[in-house]
Structure 1
Amino acid sequence: MLQRSLIAKIFLVSFLSVHVPLIALILHLLFGFETSPVPVFALILAATLIGTAICLFAIWRFIRPLHHLAVALKKYPEDKSVLKIQSSGNDEIAIVTDVTKSMLMQVEELTKKLKHQATTDFLTGLANRRWLTEQVPGLQSQAERANEPLSVILFDLDNFKHINDDYGHDVGDNVLMIVGEVVKDSLRPYDLAARIGGEEFCIVLPRTSGESALKIAERLRAAFQASYVEPLPHGRITCSFGVVQAGPGERLQQLLRRADTALYRAKDAGRNRVIGAFVEKNP
């Protein structure tokens, strides 16, 4: 009971500390020491100071874990060390510490899920436009510092509206999921891929020249055409691609506009093809 109750421990220590002078006086008299006022007063004063010190030290030891918890909670937004605090004992502070850690862990998990939902397209499992917009400027800056190329592939499904109209939205959703799986299986760990519109997708390829990006886009085009979703006929899943290589200081929106122009050239040329739009370099 005493180990599980902080209040009981504080009451016990306080009770004993308050009675230290009385205990000292009783022992003094029992052992027949001098009973004149000065020695007795000195004894009581010393015993009072000792009792007070013992009481303060014991209470400080009892509430020190609460102090550590409060400091860790104050730093929580920048420092997650509160999640590593180990509770000792079974008293109220230990319970508060364990419950606080449990609640914060739940908050962390919920935050991760919400962040994932906010930045991920639920249907394809790829990132969404918001996440891509946040990530690309950093990649462009890194590429410019390292003097490395960076390319963008923009593509969308050919006649996707006809699939929804003729076969239903469930089939259309299955097509989008297949596209997402093909993209995830085809890219390198540091490549970025996002669904940025209904049937429109964007892939950002660090350390990749425009020529290499064309080859990657062609492999994706062939992989999409080889994919099959019932009840669509074989070869029905096709995409048109626009490929560009980023120029110095070129923003994402400028890249997307150039890639979009190339994509519509692919559409006009008969769909299911890859077209690049590259800025000529000065000699």
Structure 2
Amino acid sequence: MSEVGISATAAKRLAHARFACRIYKMRALGLGTGCIAVGGVLYGNGASWPWWVALVANGAVWPSFAYWWARRSADPRRAEFRNLTIDSAAGGVWIAAMQFNLMPSLLLAVMLSADKIGVGGWRFLPRTATAQALTCAVTWSLLGFPFQPQTTLVEMLWCIPFVLAYPLALSTLTHALGREVVRQNRMLERSSRTDPLTGLPNRRHWEEAVAAECARSERSGGPAALLMLDVDLFKEVNDRYGHPVGDRVLQQVAQIVQAVVREVDTPGRFGGDEFGVLLTDASMADAEQVAERIRAAVATLRLAHLPERMLSVSIGVAAKPQFASAGEWIRQADLALYAAKREGRNRVASSAMDPDIGED
């Protein structure tokens, strides 16, 4: 499996482990306060000691065991959905054990439904509701079908911690999950616009920026310029030292470009070892100075993996042609880059030097 595949798998498992941690906190709070409400009814009904042991186990032991069980699973998220179904099934037992005492039974059924909808949506609810109904029916039949729906004032008071704490915690969790979705969407959008190797805008995003600047320049008449640059003899670096070293070279060049240009400028990875730089409000002379600074900085770059090799870049510069499209503007800068290559590499060439430059 590739490093990328391993990283993606690890990231997915980490996200599922965080999900299990959130559910553990909710389960510990919900079952803890829910068992207080159930305990108030069991006490009033004079329940025998096995019921109290089961209640303590459900409220105090089960949350930690469920979390441990999920964390040890190959798929913690899937394991937690199984545990949530068990939660609902246990709720059915307690509703029958309380002899359908109205207020705590209703609270238990509603809360155990609300958290399932919050986590798995309405499609998850039928599965958990079915489990709850089955365990409730079986327990009720084993107990002889007792039915005492009346709720006393004391039993209502025992329900207060559950009524107050769990809905607030559930709302907090829902809000946190919503923020997580927003964060992930932002990361997805950023990744779709960013080159993963260099951290620069990718070609599509960079070309969009060039098109926007092209339109702005046409409206305002302000100057703008493009740089197109690539690493000289980069194929030899890859062939001799391997692609990881080549990747390191590209990262270093990208860092130099970012350090030299202004915040208002837009550098990008055009493809392979070729980079583009959009210079806003920059004349041809300004652009040539920026290009020369980039060229000089790369020429002084030394990498431990390339001790005997000097790196260099060739750079083409093109001012914004009047009434030209973004594609034509990029083409002019590319032609200037080819001219710099023909003239011996490690140099800056401008489209103004020869407007009729052609590709070899």
- Give the TM-score normalised by structure 2: 0.51
Distance 2:244 2:292 in 1: 27
**How far apart are the structure 1 equivalents of 2:303 and 2:204?**
29
Q: Which amino acid is 1:141 matched to?
A: A
- How many angstroms apart in 1 are the aligned matches of 2:310 and 2:191? 30
What residue in structure 2 maps to residue 133 of structure 1?
207
Write the letter of the residue equivalent to 2:236.
H
Give the match for residue 63 of structure 1: none
Q: Aligned partner of 1:117: which letter?
A: S
The residue matched to 2:221 in structure 1 has which SS? coil
2: distance between equivalents of 1:256 and 1:138?
Answer: 13
Question: Equivalent of 1:262, from 336, 340, 345?
Answer: 336
Shift of 1:250: 2.0
Q: Deviation at 1:93?
A: 5.0
| Distance in 2, Cα, partners of 1:124 & 1:262 | 24
Residue 122 of structure 1 corresponds to which residue in structure 2? 196
In the TM superposition, structure 1's runs of 4+ consecutive aligned residues that sit over 4 Å from their partners are none
Within 2, Cα distance between the matches of 1:108 and 1:130? 23
Partner deviation per Cα, 1:150-181 (whole Å, 9 max, x = no partner) = 10000000000100111111211111111011
Counterpart CA distance in 2 for 1:268 and 1:231 is 28
CA RMSD of superposed structures (Å)? 2.5
Q: Does the Cα contact within 8 Å between 1:179 and 1:224 map onto a contact in 2?
A: yes
Structure 2 residue aligned with 1:169, among 230, 243, 252?
243
SS across alignment from 2:271: coil
* Deviation for aligned residue 1:103: 1.3
Aligned equivalent of 1:151, options 200, 225, 243:
225
Q: What's 1:198 paired with?
A: 272
2:252 pairs with 1:178 = yes
1:131 shift after superposition = 0.8
- The structure 2 residue matched to 1:108, chosen from 182, 191, 196, is 182
Residue 19 of structure 1 corresponds to which residue in structure 2?
Answer: none
**Letter paired with 1:180:** A
Partner of 1:247: 321
> Which range moves more in the overlay, 225-234 or 115-124?
225-234
Give the Å deviation of 1:187.
1.1
Q: Do residues 223 (structure 1) and 297 (structure 2) align? A: yes
User: 2:56 — aligned with what?
Assistant: none
Residue 281 of structure 2 corresponds to 207
C-alpha offsets along residues 193-231 of structure 1, whole Å, 9 cap, x if unaligned? 001111000000000011210111011000001111123
What is the rounded CA distance, in whole Å, between the counterparts of 1:279 and 1:248 in structure 2?
17
CA offsets, 1:77-119, max 9 Å, x none?
xxxxxxxxxxxx9366534432221111101111111112111
Alpha-carbon deviation of 1:134? Answer: 2.1
CA positional deviation for 1:251: 2.0
Q: Give, in angstroms, the shift of residue 129 of structure 1.
A: 0.3
Matched letter for residue 225 of structure 2? S
1:114–1:101 CA distance, 2 compared to 1 (3 A): same
Q: Which has the bigger relative contact order, CA under 8 A and spacing at least 6?
A: 1
Give the Cα separation in 1 of the matches to 2:212 and 2:171: 39
Q: Could you tell me the percent identity over the aligned residues?
A: 35
Secondary structure of residue in 1 paired with 2:311: coil
Rg larger for: 1
Alignment CA distance shift 1:228-1:96 (3 Å): same
Following superposition, the deviation at residue 280 of structure 1 comes to 9.9
Q: 1:235 to 1:272 in 2, by over 3 A?
A: farther
Considering fraction of residues, name the structure with more helix.
2
Q: Could you say what secondary structure the match of 1:127 adopts?
A: coil
Task: State the SS of the aligned residue for 2:317.
Answer: strand
Partner of 1:275: 349
Residue equivalent to 1:75? none
User: The residue matched to 2:164 in structure 1 has which SS?
Assistant: coil
Q: Count matched residues.
A: 197
Report deviation, 1:192: 0.1
List gaps (5 residues or longer) in structure 1: 9-88
